């Protein structure tokens, strides 16, 4: 087997593992309406996955993003390339290169309807805990 192909498969597996960890991190803080959009089969997609969730308050938006940051750093020594929106906390974006996380306040999510922009992606919805 081509060593580059083998490395590519390992990277994909790690990306899925990290996506699952991010979903768990959101669930830890009771994030709601979690959806994972798999963009890997979409030509020219900006990343492999979008993970989108919402929270009831800006405090909860911050808590969710802080928990994602903490767990990714502690468990995989991974930090986001970009971490935007922390000041107002209506929409926090965390860019982990292969995974982009969007943590929305409920009203902001309704306004932007980000899922609709990527409706051709394979979507996985997670139950609220």
pTM over 0.85: yes
List, for residues 101-116, the tens digit of each pLDDT value.
Answer: 999 999 999 999 999 9
Average pLDDT, the chain: 91
Q: Is the pLDDT of residue 6 over 90?
A: no
Half-sphere exposure of 33 (CA within 13 A, CB side): 16
Q: Residue holding tokens 């767990």?
A: 71
SS3 of residue 9 by DSSP: helix
pLDDT, residue 7, reads 45
**Cα gap 54→103, rounded to integer Å:** 6
Q: Which CATH superfamily is domain 30-118 in?
A: Beta Polymerase, domain 2 (3.30.460.10)
CA 34, CA 32: separation in Å to the nearest integer?
6
Q: In this predicted model, what pLDDT tens digit does every residue of 25-72 receive, in sequence order?
A: 999 999 999 999 999 999 999 999 999 999 999 999 999 999 999 999
Task: Collapse the DSSP code of 41 into the 3-class scheme (helix H, G, I; strand E, B; otherwise coil) and give the result.
Answer: coil
């Amino acid at each position: 087997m081509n060593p580059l192909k083998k490395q590519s498969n390992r990277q994909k597996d790690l990306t899925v593992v990290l996506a699952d960890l991010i979903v768990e991190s959101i669930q830890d803080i009771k994030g709601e309406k979690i959806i994972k959009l798999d963009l890997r089969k979409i030509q020219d997609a900006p990343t492999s996955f979008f993970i989108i969730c919402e929270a009831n308050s800006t405090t909860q938006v911050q808590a969710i993003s802080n928990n994602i940051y903490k767990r990714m750093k502690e468990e995989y020594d991974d930090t986001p390339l970009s971490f935007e929106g922390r000041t107002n906390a209506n929409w926090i974006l965390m860019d982990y290169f292969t995974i982009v996380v969007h943590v929305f306040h409920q009203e902001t999510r309704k306004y932007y309807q980000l899922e609709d922009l990527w409706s051709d992606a394979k979507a996985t919805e997670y139950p609220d805990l």
